[in-house]
Amino acid sequence: MRIIDLHCYPNTEPWIHCQGPYVEALAKYWNRAWTWKQEDEVVAEFAAAGVEAVLVALDLETTTGTPPCTNDYVKAMQQRHPDRIIHAWAAVDPFKGEIAIQQAGHAITELGMLGFHFHPIMGHFAVNDRRLYPLFEVINALKVPVMIDVGTTGMGAGMPGGLGAKIRHAHPSCIDELAADFPDLKIIAAHPGWPWVDEMTAVALHKGNVYWEMSGWAPKYFPAQLKTDIRARLQDKVMFGSDYPSIPYDRLLREWRELGYADAVMEKIFHANAERILGL
């Protein structure tokens, strides 16, 4: 069965370094070393798992003061391994204003990237903040999707004040409002959205332009109602993502299969929904 992984970070040196002070918190959160690998090692892990990866760029420069893992870097990595890395999400720092808008145009019209990923908690913004709407108007005009993290994060977890991050920035209501204001914009909610799983379910069901990928969580810990909804009323909305390198692929794929869904449902989750919704 084809497996499209919508949420993979490069896991290389530039990506680790761009996280700045959050590296220590992530190591504690995931209870393991948070260190980078060589590019060929990363691609080998995708191959061993049998996944076709979609890479994610990361720009937290405003909040971390460290250089981003840029769109050009991530796109170049994808182009070096097109059979295993099939596409890439761009990232822009919304607080860079006109520079972010210029970078958005470059990412799509020149680099040919899939769309944009936003990390509201670590970027210190909510996507329904009207100050960001000029950027979303440009993205909407480019006719590309966005992937937006929802729910809590390991970045800053357990640190004093969460290192300034506010989890409320990633509440599903922010996605709900953005989807209402930009009805032609395809929005992919990233992660199960804990502690607001029911709220995210409501948004995904209510907004026809909102979809959902379940990266960053071991499936056995999905809430019972979410497990039921994925095989029923959400089966045409949900897609697979790993949040690589957060959780080992062998565990993640094993636990997805242990949920006991019919093959027809798993086909949708692992690849058919991404093919239909995102053209992959």
The owner of tokens 């209510």 is 206
Q: Rounded to whole angstroms, how far apart are CA atoms 18 and 68?
A: 5
Q: What is the mean pLDDT of residues 205-227?
A: 97
Q: Rounded to whole angstroms, how far apart are CA atoms 208 and 160?
A: 39
**Token duo for residue 73:** 């870097």
Express each pLDDT in 247-278 by its tens digit: 999 999 999 999 999 999 999 999 999 999 99
Higher-confidence residue: 153 or 194?
194
pLDDT at 239 over 80: yes
pLDDT at 34 over 70: no
pLDDT at 19 over 80: no
Q: What is the mean pLDDT of residues 65-71?
A: 93
In the CATH hierarchy, which fold is given to the domain comprising 4-278? TIM Barrel (3.20.20)
pLDDT at 180 over 70: yes
Express each pLDDT in 97-133 by its tens digit: 999 999 999 999 999 999 999 999 989 999 999 999 9
The percent of residues above 90 in pLDDT, for the chain, comes to: 84
Structure confidence at residue 20 (pLDDT):
72
Structure confidence at residue 46 (pLDDT):
98
Give 162's pLDDT tier (boundaries 50, 70, 90). Answer: confident
pLDDT at 204 over 80: yes
CA separation, residue 178 to residues 61, 76, 124, 150, 183 (Å): 24, 31, 17, 13, 8
Q: Residue 133 in 3-state DSSP? A: helix
pLDDT at 159 over 80: no
Structure confidence at residue 8 (pLDDT):
98
Torsion of the alpha carbons at 159, 9, 54 and 91, rounded to the nearest 10: 70
The percent of residues above 70 in pLDDT, for the chain, comes to: 99
Structure confidence at residue 94 (pLDDT):
96
pLDDT at 29 over 80: no
Q: What is the mean pLDDT of the chain?
A: 94
Helical (H) or strand (E) element with 148? strand 146-149
pLDDT at 25 over 90: no
Q: Using an 8 Å Cβ cutoff, are 230 and 200 in contact?
A: no
